[in-house]
Amino acid sequence: MVLNSEFFNTVSSLQEKIASGEAVVTVVGMGYVGLPLALNFAKASLRTIGLDIDPGKVETLNRGESYIEHIDAVQIAEVRDGGKFEATTDFSLVAESDAIIICVPTPLTKHHEPDLSYVVSTVESIAPHLKAGQLVSLESTTYPGTTDEELLPRIEAQGLKVGEDCFLVFSPEREDPGNPDFTNTTIPKVIGGTTAACLEAGQALYQLVCDTVVPVSSTQAAEFTKLLENIYRSVNIGLVNEMKIVAEAMNVDIWEVIRAAATKPFGFTPFYPGPGLGGHCIPIDPFYLTWKAREYNIHTRFIELAGEINTSMPQYVIHRVSEELNRQRKSLNGSRVLVMGLAYKPNVDDVRESASFKLMDLLADQGVEVDYFDPHVPVIPSTRENVRWTGKKSIKWNQENVSSYDNVIIATAHDRYNIDEIAEWCDSLVDTRNIFAGREMKPGQLIKA
């Protein structure tokens, strides 16, 4: 139901509520992006509602507990006890809010096309509860045009005029789970509005919790900014992954080459090879732009080539494992292989799009008995993409277990690994992360991939 727009129907009145601390913020999606953002608003003394369709997450949060390793439960308990944060599955509470921030997944379909179903269903769920004077912000990474093409018409279908009665912005998340040097308060926050008034309202909100807000001219510019950031990384990782294959064929250590090149004080930024891409951004976001570019008859060759190289890396790693087993006069079929590291990056419990799942799939499909060890992921959670492995447990770390494998793949370089024990207990290692750099190993014990 659309309420009368007599009250709070200008950007100045919304700014006043934000500045006075009277504004209520709802963050939709209590994952790696939405939860820390919601906690920041609650810490800024705004009443904050964490909205999620998963009742398990809601119950956990309302008990003051955490389900994300790098988010301390103490933070949640403090804002719960202070009465500034509550979690819910009830979309009708949007009517009590002054700002609604959408932080839901934007995955790909099996055909590598954008899947906006989570965004669309969220907007359609909040739309009946929208009223004049509110701000809606989309943070989910997407192709340029999404905010104005998908959100705006659904909002205005409620009888509200964006830019006059209510406000709409896109402000891409820049969350980096587990990064000790940057947080979502210190990372500059890019924001674009559908109108100038929308941008002004969005800046007022985000300035409460972000040290630096970077305005751009439109929601499309903000959407494109996020894609460029991740495409830049994808293309450079694709380049160094290809260089790794060339270097290994020439018996050159690519890691040594990167270290040497990085001494140049200008014109070079080091990127590092690996077993494939992981996380919700780099494996997915570039394909949002390739898809949208086809609408303009543009073939994004760099992006697609980088994607092709990066997605082939797990197969390359398995090829190297097969070579190592052949050296031992063993085949893949019937061998036992341990994958070290399930999280997509070091020192976190985030398994989204982790290349380790692809490694495990490829090995299992060829008759390998596959296990994993990850001190951050004791049990594989239920995910949309990896149902095959749901509930599988990390092995217990002891010499008897670890030494029983025919090969061990280092897929993620967690700091909590005991490098000495790995080197002592494992006779056959495939290292995709160079964790044994500078260490003297047994003859034939280690190959890099």
Output DSSP code: residue 298. Answer: -
Cβ–Cβ under 8 Å, residues 392 and 352: no
Helices (H), 21-131: 34-43, 55-62, 73-81, 117-126
Confidence tier at 4 by pLDDT (50, 70, 90): very low
Least confident segment among 173-182, 321-330, 440-449: 173-182
In a domain, 358, yes or no: yes
Q: Based on the structure, what is the number of domains in the chain?
A: 2
User: Mean pLDDT across the stretch 332-348?
Assistant: 97
In a domain, 228, yes or no: no
Residue 10 tokens read as 């200008």
What does the alpha-carbon distance between residue 345 and residue 329 come to, in Å, rounded to a whole number? Answer: 33
In a domain, 3, yes or no: no
Residues 128 and 209 in one domain: yes
Mean pLDDT of the chain: 94
Residues 159 and 289 in one domain: no
Q: What is the pLDDT of residue 10?
A: 61
User: Mean pLDDT across the stretch 166-188?
Assistant: 90
Strand partners, 25: 48, 99
Please count the residues of the chain: 449
Residues 251 and 130 in one domain: no
What H or E segment, with its residue span, contains residue 327? helix 301-327
Last residue within a domain, chosen from 190, 216, 242? 216
Q: What is the pLDDT of residue 111?
A: 86
User: Mean pLDDT across the stretch 163-182?
Assistant: 91
Residue 317: closest CA among 277, 280, 351: 277
What does the alpha-carbon distance between residue 414 and residue 241 come to, in Å, rounded to a whole number? Answer: 20
User: Mean pLDDT across the stretch 138-153?
Assistant: 98
User: Mean pLDDT across the stretch 397-404?
Assistant: 97
Domain of 282 in residue numbering reads as: 233-448
Confidence tier at 3 by pLDDT (50, 70, 90): very low
Higher-pLDDT residue of 182, 189:
189
Residues 187 and 283 in one domain: no
- Lateral strand order in the sheet of 213-215: 85-88, 47-51, 24-28, 99-102, 135-138, 167-170, 189-193, 213-215
> Is the pLDDT confidence value at 347 over 70?
yes
Strand partners, 214: 190
> What pTM was estimated for this model as a whole?
0.92
Residue 11: closest CA among 134, 169, 194: 134
What does the alpha-carbon distance between residue 263 and residue 278 come to, in Å, rounded to a whole number? Answer: 27
User: Mean pLDDT across the stretch 29-47?
Assistant: 96
Residues 331 and 183 in one domain: no
Residues 349 and 375 in one domain: yes
> Is the pLDDT confidence value at 273 over 90?
yes
Q: What is the pLDDT of residue 180?
A: 81
> Is the pLDDT confidence value at 177 over 90?
no
Residues 71 and 194 in one domain: yes
Q: What is the pLDDT of residue 395?
A: 98
pLDDT in tens, 205-221: 999 999 999 999 999 99
Last residue within a domain, chosen from 216, 249, 269? 216
Residue 223 tokens read as 């959407």
User: Mean pLDDT across the stretch 15-24?
Assistant: 93
User: Mean pLDDT across the stretch 252-279?
Assistant: 96
> Is the pLDDT confidence value at 2 over 60?
no
Cβ–Cβ under 8 Å, residues 277 and 353: yes
Residue 428 has a CB neighbour count (10 Å cut-off) of 22
User: Mean pLDDT across the stretch 359-365?
Assistant: 98
User: Mean pLDDT across the stretch 378-399?
Assistant: 93
Cβ–Cβ under 8 Å, residues 46 and 25: yes
Instruction: Give, in order, the Cα–Cα distances in Å from 150 to each of 32, 94, 104, 123, 253.
Output: 24, 19, 14, 9, 48
Give percent of the chain with pLDDT exceeding 70.
Answer: 98
What H or E segment, with its residue span, contains residue 28? strand 24-28
In a domain, 4, yes or no: no
In a domain, 282, yes or no: yes
> Is the pLDDT confidence value at 233 over 60?
yes
Residues 288 and 372 in one domain: yes
Q: What is the pLDDT of residue 178?
A: 77
Q: What is the pLDDT of residue 230?
A: 95
In a domain, 224, yes or no: no
Active-site residue, selected from the candidate residues 198, 210, 281, 426: 281
Residues 386 and 310 in one domain: yes
pLDDT in tens, 322-334: 999 999 999 999 9
User: Mean pLDDT across the stretch 311-322?
Assistant: 97
Q: Is 281 a catalytic residue?
A: yes
Last residue within a domain, chosen from 153, 181, 216? 216
Output DSSP code: residue 108. Answer: B
User: Mean pLDDT across the stretch 46-58?
Assistant: 97
Cβ–Cβ under 8 Å, residues 354 and 316: no
Confidence tier at 179 by pLDDT (50, 70, 90): confident
Instruction: Give, in order, the Cα–Cα distances in Å from 222 to each of 91, 169, 191, 203.
Output: 27, 9, 6, 13
In a domain, 227, yes or no: no
Confidence tier at 27 by pLDDT (50, 70, 90): very high
Residues 316 and 419 in one domain: yes
Residues 237 and 209 in one domain: no
What does the alpha-carbon distance between residue 232 and residue 251 come to, in Å, rounded to a whole number? Answer: 28
What does the alpha-carbon distance between residue 74 and residue 76 come to, in Å, rounded to a whole number? Answer: 5
Dump the DSSP string for 151-207: IHHHHHTTT--BTTTBEEEE------TT-SS--TTTS-EEEEESSHHHHHHHHHHHT
Residues 428 and 301 in one domain: yes
User: Mean pLDDT across the stretch 183-207?
Assistant: 96
In a domain, 221, yes or no: no
Confidence tier at 386 by pLDDT (50, 70, 90): confident
Output DSSP code: residue 260. Answer: H
Q: What is the pLDDT of residue 182?
A: 87
- CATH number for the domain spanning 267: value is 3.40.50.720
